[in-house]
């Protein structure tokens, strides 16, 4: 079931996030990038802060209490979209993303939706109609950086 975030989901969200980076993104990024990106910066309270203070909208895939993935949007961007490896590659990501994207289009008047995509997720977004705007380097406070792609989709007519 895909549903909006509920308090308490943040522990499962953090686990899905960490495992997604370590087990799915590790094919496209170096071990030192994975260690930093999927390391101590992943803390349940960070999602709570984004949702409560920054009004980020979060949706989760809930499999009888196990968080199978999550997708969030804020401003003009879908910001966090990660599947737990046990739930990836089965069509669940597409369903979860569709709910978050529909909420974005309904809740905003922005003409475009932006995504800073990992190398890993680029083919997924391309399938859903997102186009590459250009390369984008995401740099963490630690100084570690990730090569990503800035992608955009036009509001459907």
Ligand X SMILES: CC(C)(COP(=O)(O)OP(=O)(O)OC[C@H]1O[C@@H](n2cnc3c(N)ncnc32)[C@H](O)[C@@H]1OP(=O)(O)O)[C@@H](O)C(=O)NCCC(=O)NCCS
CA separation for the pair 98, 24 (Å, rounded): 21
Residue among 29, 50, 117, 130 that touches ligand X (CB under 6 A) = 117
- Residue among 12 and 93 whose Cβ is closer to ligand X: 93
What is the three-state SS of the chain?
Answer: CEEECCCCCHHHHHHHHHHHHHHCHHHCCCHHHHHHHCCCCCCHHHHHHHHHHCCCEEEEEEECCEEEEEEEEECCEEEEEEECHHHCCCCHHHHHHHHHHHHHHHHCCCCEEEEEECCCCHHHHHHCCCEEEEEEEEECCCCCEEEEEEEEEECCC
Name residues contacting ligand X, limited to 86-105 (CB under 6 A).
88-94
Shortest distance (Å) from residue 40 CB to ligand X: 19
Shortest distance (Å) from residue 93 CB to ligand X: 2
Shortest distance (Å) from residue 24 CB to ligand X: 4
CA separation for the pair 36, 144 (Å, rounded): 7
Name residues contacting ligand X, limited to 13-72 (CB under 6 A).
20, 24-25
- Residue among 23 and 44 whose Cβ is closer to ligand X: 23
Determine if 74 is a binding residue for ligand X (CB under 6 A): no
- Residue among 13 and 88 whose Cβ is closer to ligand X: 88
Task: Specify the stretch interacting with ligand X by CB under 6 A; choose among 3-11, 52-60, 105-113, 114-122.
Answer: 114-122
Shortest distance (Å) from residue 133 CB to ligand X: 14
Interaction site with ligand X (CB under 6 A): 20, 24-25, 81-83, 88-94, 117-118, 120-121, 123-124, 127
């Amino acid at each position: 079931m895909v549903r909006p975030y509920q308090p308490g989901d943040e522990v499962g969200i953090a686990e899905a996030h960490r495992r997604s980076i370590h087990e799915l993104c590790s094919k496209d990024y170096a071990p030192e990038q994975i260690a930093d990106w999927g390391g101590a910066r992943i803390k349940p309270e960070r999602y709570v802060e984004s949702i409560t203070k920054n009004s980020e909208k979060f949706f989760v895939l809930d499999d009888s209490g196990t968080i199978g993935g999550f997708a969030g949007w804020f401003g003009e961007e879908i910001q966090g979209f990660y599947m737990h490896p046990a739930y990836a590659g089965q069509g669940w990501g597409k369903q979860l993303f569709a709910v978050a994207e529909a909420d974005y289009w309904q809740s905003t008047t922005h003409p475009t939706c932006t995504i800073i995509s990992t190398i890993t997720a680029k083919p997924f977004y391309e399938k859903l109609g997102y186009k590459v705007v250009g390369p984008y380097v995401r740099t963490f406070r630690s100084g570690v950086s990730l090569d990503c792609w800035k992608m955009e989709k036009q509001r459907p007519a």
